[in-house]
Amino acid sequence: MGIKIESARIAPCKIVFFRERPYIKPNQVLFIDNRPGREHSYHDKLVDVFGLLRNSKLDISDENIPILREIIERGLRNGGFKDTTRAAEWLGSVNQYANFLGFNIEPFELLIAHAEDHIHEIIKIMVIDGNWPAGMILSGSPKMLSEVLTDTIIQQTLRLICSILDKKIPILGFCFGLHLLAYSKFGALAEYIHVPEGMGVEFHPKLEAKNKFTNSISGDIYTVYGTSFVRRVVKHKVLAAVDKIFGLEVHSQFLSSDHPSISNKKILAVSKRFFRENKMSKKQYEQVMIEVLEVGEVAIGTQLHPELQPELLLALSYLPEISSWLKNEGQDLQRLRKELGMYPKSFYAGQRIGYNWVKRILAPDYIRKMISDEKSQRTLLDRLKYRDLTRNRFSVVSENFF
């Protein structure tokens, strides 16, 4: 199998590090990295990293494992698999399309901060001193929100989120960021994915004629590896074209669609997993996961990962330590690799949601706040609408664009 994926074009976006410039400006989008440990140091290499994997053609075999490992490590060192890569791309596209400089307002900047190091200082600058950004993005994390009663960093991050929600400043959270938003707004805690009691196989309706099943152990914790379709439940501006493409996700905790504190009206998209007692049984169990959640008028959370690239997950699945882990969990590696190889070469669902949030929620909100002249507002909003990638690539009705 070869990996050959087209190069991505990244529009310029200024990256600012909170550790270097501990202040917040109205044109900045604050990115909160929720991962434990010290702040990563390789974000300044965002622009040139995409050639590492996207221009490579690699035949995956045992003898090529060292080469594969080197490619993965180079990508990780250079920031190629970080959420901030995608965020910089979305913001840069908006800056380019809207041409903010022509209207004497500042283009977006991406301000990167680390929750472990900076959350208390950020709260002082924003909540106490009243210096608010244009928007905020919350990253994923290996942490679990069930640690909220003992983890002070999580507690302070929740305090910041509540203030942002009250101010109706656009906010986007993915994975752990979704769980933070859901807890802040609805008091909802995510739960571990368990194989339902009495069920022994996960089956795949689209592949059932070919007898495609994955063995699973009843009651075990189960991890999802980016192979499900996303089904749009509610028509919403962040979901343009999302129902046409794959989701890409890795998680072992999720929000259930029947969570008692979450209204069905707020659930924008879901994915489904199906289980049976055995391959011959007709008795089945359906597990529905929230993939996109509306937390507020301009606040969206998604379980999907915009930073993950299918070729990265595909490559990882061939490393011996990862493949052993997947096999021990009962994953069908052949099916997993096949589906990862089928991902589109443009946007997939996580990227699309992030891009749509920037273009259809964050940018219009910023334009309206920064420009009082209605004619100038309309000019910029129209530029965003008619330069939108989904409008040209997909047959998407563009009314209610903003």
- Supply the pLDDT for residue 71: 65
199-220 confidence digits (pLDDT tens) = 998 887 765 556 678 888 898 8
What pLDDT is attached to residue 331?
Answer: 78
More confident residue, 367 or 339: 367
- Kindly tell me if the per-residue pLDDT of 316 is higher than 70: yes
pLDDT of 40 over the 70 cut: no
Q: What is the pLDDT of residue 58?
A: 54
pTM of the model: 0.85
Question: pLDDT at residue 323 above 70?
Answer: yes
376, HSE (Cβ side, Cα atoms, 13 Å): 15
- When pLDDT is cut at 50, 70 and 90, the band that residue 394 belongs to is very low
How many angstroms separate the CA atoms of 402 and 400, rounded?
A: 5
Residue with tokens 């976006």: 13
State residue 60's pLDDT score.
Answer: 62
Cα-based distances in Å from 308 to 180, 270, 302, 313: 20, 19, 14, 8
d(CA 396, CA 360): 14
* Whether residue 399 has pLDDT greater than 60: no
Rounded to the nearest 10 degrees, what angle do helices 83-98 and 349-357 cross at?
50
The pLDDT, as a whole number, for residue 43 is 37
Q: CA torsion 155→156→158→159, rounded to 10°?
A: 120
CA distance 305 to 137: 13
Q: pLDDT class for 398, splitting at 50, 70, 90?
A: very low
Higher per-residue confidence, 103 vs 108: 108
Mean pLDDT, range 9-32, rounded to an integer: 87
Return the pLDDT at 75. 60
Average pLDDT in the 28-33 region? 95
Count of C-beta atoms within a 10 Å radius of residue 334: 9
Mean pLDDT for the stretch of residues 101-122: 92
Backbone angles phi, psi at 306, to 5 degrees: -75, -15
Which pLDDT does position 267 carry in this prediction? 97
pLDDT at 48 over 60: no
Query: Looking at the predicted structure, is the pLDDT value of residue 4 above 70?
Result: no
Averaged pLDDT of the chain: 81
- Per-residue 3-state assignment (H helix, E strand, C coil) for the chain: CCCCCCCCCCCCCEEEECCCCCCCCCCEEEEEECCCCCCCCCHHHCCCCCHHHHCCCCCCCHHHHHHHHHHHHHHHHCCCCCHHHHHHHHHHHHHHHHCHHHHCCCCCEEEEEEHHHHHHHHHHHHHHCCCCCCEEEECCCCCCHHHCCCCHHHHHHHHHHHHHHHHCCCEEEECHHHHHHHHHHHCCCCEECECCCCCCEEECHHHHHHCCEEECCCCCECCEECCCECEECCCCHHHCCHHHCECCCEECEECECCCCCCCHHHEEEEEEEEEECCCCCCCEEEEEEEEEEEEECCEEEECCCCCCCHHHHHHHCCCHHHHHHHHHCCCCHHHHHHHHHCCCCCCCHHHHHHHHHHHHHHHHHHHHHHCCCHHHHHHHHHHHHHCCHHHHHCCCCCCCCC
Chain-centre distance of CA 216, in angstroms?
27
Candidate from 42-46, 69-73, 176-180 with smallest mean pLDDT: 42-46
List the chain domain ranges.
14-187+298-307+327-393, 201-291
pLDDT class of 347 with cuts at 50, 70, 90: low
Q: Are the C-beta atoms of residues 176 and 138 closer than 8 Å to each other?
A: yes
- Pairwise CA distance, residues 265 & 340, whole Å: 31
Q: What are the pLDDT digits (tens) for 155-195?
A: 999 999 999 999 999 999 999 999 999 999 999 999 999 99
Question: Which pLDDT belongs to residue 144?
Answer: 87
pLDDT interval class at 263 (50, 70, 90): very high
Rank 173-182, 236-245, 329-338 by mean pLDDT and report only the highest: 173-182
Tokens for 170, please give them.
Answer: 């656009």
Structure confidence at residue 27 (pLDDT): 97
For 59-73, 76-90, 180-194, which range has the lowest pLDDT when averaged over its residues?
59-73
